[in-house]
Structure 1
Amino acid sequence: MSYLMTIKSLLLGAAASLTALAAAQAADLPMTKGEAVEYVKVCSAFGPGFFYIPGSDTCLKIAGEIRADYRFYNQSGDGIKANTKNDFGSDFYKQNRDIHSSAFNTEARISFDARTQTEFGLLRSFFQIRGISHPINWDSTKDTSGNTFSIKYAYIQFGGLTAGYAHSFFGFYDLDFGNTVWGPYYAQSNVVNLLAYTADFGSGFTATLSIEDGRDHRQNAFAKNQQGGQQIPDVVGQIRLKQDWGSVAVQAAAHQYRTAETIVPRENKWGYAVGGTLLVNIPVIDKGHFVIEGQYADGALDYLGIGSSKLKGQNYFFNSNGGFDGGKGWSVTAELGGNFAPQWGANLVGAYIDTTYDKFSNLGDRKVKEYSLTGNVVYTIVKGLTVTGEVTYTHQTIDNLSYVPAAGVAAIARDAKSDFWMGGVRIKRTF
């Protein structure tokens, strides 16, 4: 025991000596306060959350969010399953044990917004990346286990120039609208690679010309392997007026579609889309708004927001005359929302999309229609933490759908209808 006590005394003595020596040496060192530039300073020029990057005049904002989703799903009717065998909906199935009636999903996003005021105008770069764990598939038939990481936005803005991966300038959808968890939004909401210039004429009046990657605007549910490579990018134009009462915009787009090398006849054709949007602010409630978007397309169905629908669509198809034509259609979406109490908000979204394919194959004219109604309620638990409950009803119809009644029996044309209910909860943390 005395031996252990001796070792303990020696160790304590050595530690005390080292501490005293370090303190004496530190006392001999000069103590200076760091220059102000070494400290992170608040940047108030661009709103809350920005700070100066030390040693520069660039302001940076780092933000993010985490979404935890829990969803339930039910289907009735014919159970159209389109875009699964490259045949534009020749499969039928009922609600069965292969369909996921419930699913969980988690998504995380982080963004970096850097801004510098220069003598030629504002220089801005924005980047957002997201990771998704076990993504939820729309039709509830595919097992989508695993994690995915992708770029949500990545663009540069300088004066009126926008270059990079950003929202298409066709339409009005942005981070403020499309306030649904799962409900479809039949309007242009794509993020695409683009190069655009916006001219500001004052008094809220702007005009934009955007050259956009046509590959990001393709819809080819039927002709997946029969569409040729991109030759000319899409051209998009928008005129917009923004005032205190709201905003109004009109837009147009041109989209080229081409047959593949193996298809005869080899042809190049142009499709187009036109649309208009109206936003009305409702000042009697916090963030109150009503927005309606409508668009028509011929050979450019992506601009209808058809990618948000369950049935998808196709820019062109082979007709009964042996040639190929562009699919036509129109869509409209309206959203009413706002905060009706300090901690409560709600959104109601109605949407309809209608596409036609005249003389489709040998089965006559085909029409694909879908409408959806979504409602949700958002409760803010504390600042930055919300929980949302949502219910969506969707009805879809395909006229003259190819259907094989039994093996060895020739295909017949018939109409098919299905109804879908989807509900769930989202817990979201933003910072």
Structure 2
Amino acid sequence: MTIGSLLLGSTAALIAVSDARAVTTVAEPDPTEYAKICDVYGSGYVYISGTETCLRIGGYLSYYVGLGDVGLFYHARTSDVRTGEDQGTWQNNTRFTLKAWTGQETELGTLKTYTETRVNFGNRHTSVSDSSRSYAFNGDSILTFAWIQLGGLRVGKDWSAFDMFIGGAGDVLNQTPVPYGALDTNVVQYYFDAGNGFSAVVSLEEGSGVVGTIDNYAPQIVGGLKYTHGWGAITGVAGYDSNYESVAAKVRVDINVTNELLLFGMFGYGSNGKLNDDPMNAIDAHGRGFYKIWGGNWAFWAGAAYELNETTSLNLQLSGDQLKNYGVAANVAYALLPDFTVTAELDYDRYGGSAVGKVKASEVNWTNANKKSSVGGILRFERSF
């Protein structure tokens, strides 16, 4: 074999190897393919690669500490580890919340999804026969929202339209010294926007809890109507509790006094229906259902939000019901950074009775031992993303 033949053979082999490597080598991806901005549904959305679906990932991380008797969600008591004496304690809680939104335009309308999952670690009061200690532990993962919406039709896990459509009870941390309605439920809803300020919702709901979940083929039903204008809004909702044939309704007025000052007032009224037919059931005996969970037939909530400047806002809420349960909550929210806010809140609760049942409100003994007043505070740090 000549030197020329060896050279030609070596060159051919190198070319073959190069061709083979060229076939198996994948070009480096263009980074812009993975961060294509989608501005159709607002900021933060990007296109999922290879699709027309827009995705946004967000959430928040919060830590709060509460002291005193500051309501259902923040109250904590414990026993002294040495003496067993009952005493108050701090309540601490850390929450991580992950949110995901998707959106896509289709021939049937906009297709959206939304999910929100919350995970907590903190202490809560336990009441069992051998212990009254306040333990700190990981809480359950909570599926707060998980729904699909096509056009005006929404199905899945949501908060009841009895609350979502009319709105919550102000921007305070302790919103429910007097509770204002149902929350968790599976829904089949339809939203209608007339485009002239009027909008409406009809919602078929499963309910939740021991006596709140439907027990036959008849769903819980909510209907709502809203009118929105530059000065504010007027909203009304009504809910039918199919378990107890009870009806509850709320009317709300929002007023934009100035760009900085917002006011709201909300009034609720509910019938007893057959809520008291089973005196062995604690919720029934208290005359409360899935929608009318305040004390007695009527309740009110009112509040204000004032924006002092770009970083500081003040929030106030007053609430009360027929059974003389009252609450006052006021806070200052300060944004240290655009997505990092510290909120300090002071709460006052006054508890009257817990049940009217079939007894007239005028016949209830308001001087019973259940009546008490309490004061507490909450400090919360929250980083949203």
Pair in the same fold by TM > 0.5: yes
Structure 1 Cα separation of the partners of residues 336 and 366 of structure 2: 53
1:247–1:280 Cα contact (<8 Å) kept: yes
Structure 1: give runs of 5+ residues left out of the alignment.
1-24, 76-95, 220-226, 258-268, 303-311, 319-326, 355-367, 402-411
Among residues 199, 208, 211, which one is paired with 2:204 in the alignment? 211
Question: Secondary structure in 2 aligned to 1:202?
Answer: coil
1:214–1:256 Cα contact (<8 Å) kept: no
Counterpart residue identity of residue 206, structure 1: S
Q: CA deviation at 1:339?
A: 1.9
Where is the strand percentage greater, Structure 1 or Structure 2? 1
Cα gap change, 1:180 to 1:394, in 2 (>3 Å): same
Among residues 23, 26, 43, which one is paired with 2:38 in the alignment? 43
2:344–2:379 Cα contact (<8 Å) kept: yes
Cα gap change, 1:102 to 1:31, in 2 (>3 Å): closer
2:126–2:135 Cα contact (<8 Å) kept: no
Counterpart residue identity of residue 192, structure 2: A
Q: Which residue of 1 aligns with 2:101?
A: 113
Q: CA deviation at 1:101?
A: 2.9
Among residues 297, 302, 317, which one is paired with 1:329 in the alignment? 297
Question: Secondary structure in 2 aligned to 1:44?
Answer: coil
Counterpart residue identity of residue 306, structure 2: G
1:171–1:275 Cα contact (<8 Å) kept: no
Q: Which residue of 1 aligns with 2:136?
A: 145
1:347–1:376 Cα contact (<8 Å) kept: yes
1:299–1:315 Cα contact (<8 Å) kept: no
Question: Secondary structure in 2 aligned to 1:398?
Answer: coil
After TM superposition, list the pairs within 5 Å mapping 1:64-83 onto structure 2: 64-74=59-69
Deviates more, 1:37-46 or 1:381-390: 37-46
Question: Secondary structure in 1 aligned to 2:208?
Answer: helix
Q: Which residue of 1 aligns with 2:3?
A: none
Structure 1 Cα separation of the partners of residues 166 and 87 of structure 2: 32
Structure 2 Cα separation of the partners of residues 152 and 399 of structure 1: 28
Structure 2: give runs of 5+ residues left out of the alignment.
1-17, 71-83, 276-280, 288-294, 357-364
Q: Which residue of 1 aligns with 2:380?
A: 426
2:245–2:274 Cα contact (<8 Å) kept: no
Structure 2 Cα separation of the partners of residues 126 and 134 of structure 1: 27
| Residue 198 (str. 1) matches residue 198 (str. 2) | no
Counterpart residue identity of residue 44, structure 1: D
Q: CA deviation at 1:142?
A: 6.5
Question: Secondary structure in 2 aligned to 1:279?
Answer: strand
Structure 1 Cα separation of the partners of residues 254 and 210 of structure 2: 25
Structure 2 Cα separation of the partners of residues 423 and 65 of structure 1: 22
Cα gap change, 1:332 to 1:64, in 2 (>3 Å): same
Number of residue pairs aligned between Structure 1 and Structure 2: 325
Among residues 167, 170, 173, which one is paired with 2:159 in the alignment? 167
| Residue 54 (str. 1) matches residue 27 (str. 2) | no
Q: Which residue of 2 aligns with 1:293?
A: 266
Q: Which residue of 1 aligns with 2:333?
A: 378
Q: CA deviation at 1:298?
A: 1.8
1:122–1:158 Cα contact (<8 Å) kept: yes
Q: Which residue of 1 aligns with 2:315?
A: 347
Counterpart residue identity of residue 104, structure 1: N
Structure 1 residue runs of 4 or more that deviate by more than 6 Å after TM superposition = 173-176
2:160–2:185 Cα contact (<8 Å) kept: yes
1:106–1:135 Cα contact (<8 Å) kept: no
Question: Secondary structure in 2 aligned to 1:280?
Answer: strand
Cα gap change, 1:301 to 1:97, in 2 (>3 Å): farther
Structure 1 Cα separation of the partners of residues 26 and 50 of structure 2: 22
Q: Which residue of 2 aligns with 1:102?
A: 90
Q: CA deviation at 1:199?
A: 2.2
2:339–2:383 Cα contact (<8 Å) kept: yes
Could you state the TM-score of these two structures normalised by the residue count of structure 1?
0.67
Among residues 219, 226, 249, which one is paired with 1:240 in the alignment? 226
Structure 1 Cα separation of the partners of residues 311 and 200 of structure 2: 37
Q: CA deviation at 1:97?
A: 3.7
Could you state the TM-score of these two structures normalised by the residue count of structure 2?
0.74
Q: Percent identity?
A: 23
Cα gap change, 1:175 to 1:277, in 2 (>3 Å): closer
RMSD over equivalenced CA pairs, Å? 3.5
Counterpart residue identity of residue 44, structure 2: G
